[in-house]
A and B are shown apart, each in its own frame.
Chain A
Amino acid sequence: MSRNDEVAEEVSDCFERRSSEAKRKSPQNFPKPDDNLMTSMNSANNEHKTRTNGDNEDLEPGNLLHADHKPRLLLMGLKRSGKSSISNVVFRKMAPHETLFLETTTTIRKEAMHSFMDFQVWDLPGQIDYLDPDFDAESIFGGVGAMIWVLDAIDNYMEPVSRLTETILHLQHSYPDIKYSVFIHKVDSLTEDFRDDTMRDVRQRITDDLYDAGLENPPITYYGTSIYDHSIFEAFSKVMQGLVPQLPTFEALLNTVSANCRFEKAYLFDVYSKVYIASDTTPVDMKAYELCADLIDIIVDMSEVYGWDRGQDQQETDRSQAVAAPSAESFVSNIKGYHLYLKEINRSALRAQVRQGFRLTIYRNLSFIGISKYSDFEISKVLVDQNMQAFQDTLLKVFPRG
């Protein structure tokens, strides 16, 4: 994973500079945030459900097990339904066609997503019976925020539907807070009509089964997904957002920035996974999301190629310019009348030593992306900068760093 290492190198470097910069700047030098933004900042403070992240946490797999404070997301479903494919495509940048070679999973595979808060995503082997009374359910389901049930849409879905309802009924008393999502997966292989029918049918069956068992209005959301397009990222984004208690605050903040800077649409992205954590509350347009995801791809690639360490001299100049360039930003102008603006909100890196001597580097990388119709937003850059600064300050207050 040379890409990870490289980007993380740059990121960590930047973080060091950011912290020294923070010391230098006195509070009165901060641009005065817009009034509206101030209001949202205050409300953000009140809501304030703090969770701190130890910046030097050891991320050996063993430790992940004990880190209960991180919301956990389970990927469950029958064998070959596509759980490992999803996990690898979203969190390990595997090309979709390479998933053909994945072997069946035999132990729980854990992925960690680190941005403004840490998530764990657990890929569970389809072959284990988790409802077996001898099974230590607490070790798996304790502390779970959300479960994604992956259902192969091209296979017979009777069995997975009944397995899912059994699972929900089994867990509902001990773990009533789990939110369920059903990914009706591999829809790329279905025609549009058939796909809608399948989704409707699956939903109806699950609802009926649970109703018969006495469970009304179960907390389940349904998505049609495929690893061959953006739908899997979009669905994952939605599930993640369900785990963010501060979502309304983010949305309010993004609304404010959009209004101030005349963005059509504004997003907060986890750059590495292309999952978006929040967007403003104007209706979501799938195309706009895809555009942002593709923008992230090209920026990450170009930054990898040119983000190499140029050595000591270069770093000296960097440091003196740290105030001018606190974190990366990017513009793309004139995609059929639209302009894109990306700004990294916060960069820092965690490093941990892994037993074999490999350096495992994990980083947080959260970005704002705005889509605008106005080509002159570079001219109004001061305004954008001010809003970004205020936005970032607020985020840091909502999520103080440990």
Chain B
Amino acid sequence: MNSLKKPQKKKVLLMGKSGSGKSSMRSIIFSNYVAKDVRRLGATIDVEHSTVKFLGSLILNLWDCGGQDAFTETYLTSQKSQTFSDVGVLIYVFDVESRSFEGSNPRDLLTYTAVISALAEYSPSAHVFALVHKIDLVQNVFRDSVIQDRTLAIQEYSGVFSKKLKVYGTTIWDQSLYKAWGDIVKSLVPNLHIIDGYLHDLAEETSAEEIILFERATFLTVTNVTSELGERNPYSDRQERLSNVIKTFKHSLSKYTHSSTASHPFSEIAIKAPRFNLILARLTNNTYVLVILPPGDLEIELSRFNIMAAKDRFVELDIMGWAAGDTERLEGKLNGRIKDGR
């Protein structure tokens, strides 16, 4: 597993019709915009490249491809190989209000199909995510059925990717955006199973009901461990809700601290409530961890201790450019743990 040596670079294509909301979502997730700021964005000319470090182990190479017809044309012709080779993920954004989605001339879907064939030719192993965006413009009661209809239509036009394809209804006005992007990023993080293993250990040491690992800059969920009790939590959308809420808090804190988006806005938030204890703490340079515990004073002190102790382990996962030996060591630790009967 040479992949552990260096942070992995993944190319992410962001495509879809002009005005569908690609730059808006990118700015909210990665550039610390809040939803009401995106009106300031102009149409993207050609491709806007950006590089985002995610955890220590992943570098996202974002290609925000301006969606006006003339640009799309060149992606599919003169710039075809350049655009579609080495793609890790294609995110295709559909505007839910678009009039050219279905009907006799479903231009949105036809363009999508052309993109899909180019991708199949140059990067057949890529993941494909389709976002039915601006779902806030659809009345609540119709949302599920609209998403379902669109999913079927999109699937039909997805060629060889139709099985792998994942479709989400999203809007910049609520947590649905965090749900989709959390899943997208999870599909790219290398060695997620090792991180998972460590998180399970921590869960056991702390008798936590739930542990969620967040990436520091985006507050997207990297992974989580949930106990049987925690599975009964009626808020099934809580991960993306938390991403949204914490990101908002982080954004408001930047007003007081005038600090750059890259720094850590706080070291810890703790809540002792009658029904639960919560700790949200900085774990490593790139992560925050949320731990939910049973109520009681002792629980929270013990867990804080355990989190401190776990830090070292997670730091190993965090550092850039791991030395060759680390791979074996990390894998070894993991296997040892599995042998222990977990």
Binding site for B on A (CB under 8 A): 10, 13-14, 17, 97, 287, 290-291, 294-295, 297-299, 301-310, 314, 317-318, 321-322, 324-325, 327-336
Which of chain B's residues has its CB closest to A334's CB?
A: B267
Interface string of B50-87 (1 = CB under 8 A from A): 00000000000000000000000000000000000000
Binding site for A on B (CB under 8 A): 36, 229, 232-235, 238, 241-242, 245-246, 248-249, 252-253, 255-257, 259, 265-276, 278, 280, 292, 294-298
Contact indicator A302/B275 (Cβ below 8 Å): no
Say which residue of B255, B272, B274, B294 sits within 8 Å of A17 (CB atoms): B274
Contact indicator B245/A328 (Cβ below 8 Å): no
Contact indicator A306/B292 (Cβ below 8 Å): yes
- Distance of A321 Cα from B298 Cα, bound (Å): 10
Contact indicator B229/A333 (Cβ below 8 Å): no
Given A290-B255, A294-B249, A297-B249; A10-B269 close (CB under 8 Å):
no
Q: Taking each of B233, B255, B266, which has the highest tally of chain A beta carbons within 10 Å of its own beta carbon?
A: B266
Contact indicator A10/B273 (Cβ below 8 Å): yes
Secondary structure of the A contact surface, majority rule:
helix
Given A297-B248, A331-B270, A336-B256; A302-B297 close (CB under 8 Å):
no
- Distance of A123 Cα from B286 Cα, bound (Å): 48
A sample of 12 cross-chain residue pairs with beta-carbon separation below 8 angstroms, ordered by A number, consists of A13-B274, A290-B256, A302-B242, A307-B273, A308-B234, A310-B232, A314-B294, A324-B297, A325-B274, A328-B272, A332-B266, A332-B268
Say which residue of B234, B241, B273 sits within 8 Å of A303 (CB atoms): B273
Q: How far is the CB of B328 from chain A (nearest CB, A)?
A: 37
Contact indicator B241/A305 (Cβ below 8 Å): yes
Contact indicator B233/A308 (Cβ below 8 Å): yes
Given A305-B235, A324-B296; A310-B229 close (CB under 8 Å):
yes
- Distance of A1 Cα from B289 Cα, bound (Å): 30
Contact indicator B272/A298 (Cβ below 8 Å): no
Given A308-B233, A324-B296, A325-B295; A299-B271 close (CB under 8 Å):
yes
A-B contact count (CB 8 A): 116
Which residues in B have their C-beta under 8 angstroms from that of A17? 274
Which residues in A have their C-beta under 8 angstroms from that of B272? 325, 328-330
Contact indicator B242/A305 (Cβ below 8 Å): yes
Which residues in A have their C-beta under 8 angstroms from that of B246? 298
- Distance of A333 Cα from B265 Cα, bound (Å): 10
- Distance of A301 Cα from B242 Cα, bound (Å): 8
Q: How far is the CB of A12 from chain B (nearest CB, A)?
A: 11
Which residues in B have their C-beta under 8 angstroms from that of A306? 233, 238, 273, 275-276, 278, 292
Given A97-B36, A330-B271, A331-B270; A287-B278 close (CB under 8 Å):
no
- Distance of A14 Cα from B241 Cα, bound (Å): 25
Which of chain B's residues has its CB closest to A332's CB?
A: B269
Given A299-B271, A332-B266; A307-B252 close (CB under 8 Å):
no
Q: How far is the CB of A6 from chain B (nearest CB, A)?
A: 9
- Distance of A238 Cα from B272 Cα, bound (Å): 30
Contact indicator B271/A328 (Cβ below 8 Å): yes
Which residues in A have their C-beta under 8 angstroms from that of B296? 317, 321, 324-325
Say which residue of B232, B242, B268, B294 sits within 8 Å of A333 (CB atoms): B268
